[in-house]
């Protein structure tokens, strides 16, 4: 059987609310809610403000990570949900993140990481 170790969602959020995309509190809440909804386990959560605007948020998980970079001036956010393990459900993060940032639309690409033959 060919297995993949990780599931990596690459999300592009467009037409979001600029104020929400520049809110440290909201980025943190969005990460916490997404982690919980997916069944992930949070190891660490860090939020970094940028000047004059923009935020990076990183949730380090037992199951890998979620990273958010926001560009409020373009009403855009780039989000990666990288997870491993069988039980977590990373796609549940998608509507939560879209809703928090009131994104008009969202593009999703899913990449399986660490694919190689493991003959059970």
Residue 42 touches its own copies, criterion: CB under 8 A: no
Q: Which stretch binds its own copies (CB under 8 A): 19-27, 28-36, 76-84, 98-106?
A: 76-84
Helices (H), the chain: 18-21, 24-38, 93-100
| Residue 70 Cβ vs its own copies, minimum distance, rounded to whole Å | 11
Q: Which of residues 18-37 bind its own copies (CB under 8 A)?
A: none
Which residue shows structure tokens 């990780």?
6
> Does position 108 bind its own copies by CB under 8 A?
no
**Which residues, in sequence order, are CB contacts of 44 under 8 Å at separation 6+?**
58, 59, 60
Q: Both ends of the chain: CA-CA distance in Å?
A: 7
Residue 51's SS3 state is coil
69 labelled catalytic: yes
> What distance in Å separates the CA atoms of residue 78 and residue 41, rounded to the nearest whole number?
22
Query: What residues are labeled active site?
Result: 64, 69, 84
Which spans of this chain sit near its own copies (rule: CB under 8 A)?
5-6, 8, 10, 12, 14, 43-44, 46, 48, 50, 56, 58, 60, 62, 64-65, 67, 69, 71, 74, 76, 78, 80, 82, 84, 109, 111, 113-114, 116
């Amino acid at each position: 059987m060919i297995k993949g170790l990780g599931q990596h969602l690459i999300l592009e959020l467009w037409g979001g609310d600029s104020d929400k995309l520049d809110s440290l509190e909201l980025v943190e809440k969005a990460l916490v809610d997404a982690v919980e909804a997916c069944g992930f386990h949070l190891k660490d959560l860090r939020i970094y403000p940028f000047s004059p605007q923009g935020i990076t948020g990183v949730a380090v998980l037992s199951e890998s990570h979620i990273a958010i970079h926001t560009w409020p001036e373009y009403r855009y956010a780039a989000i990666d949900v990288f997870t491993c393990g069988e039980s977590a459900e990373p796609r549940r993060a998608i509507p939560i993140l879209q809703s928090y940032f009131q994104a008009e639309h969202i593009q999703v690409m899913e990449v399986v990481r660490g694919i190689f033959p493991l003959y059970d």
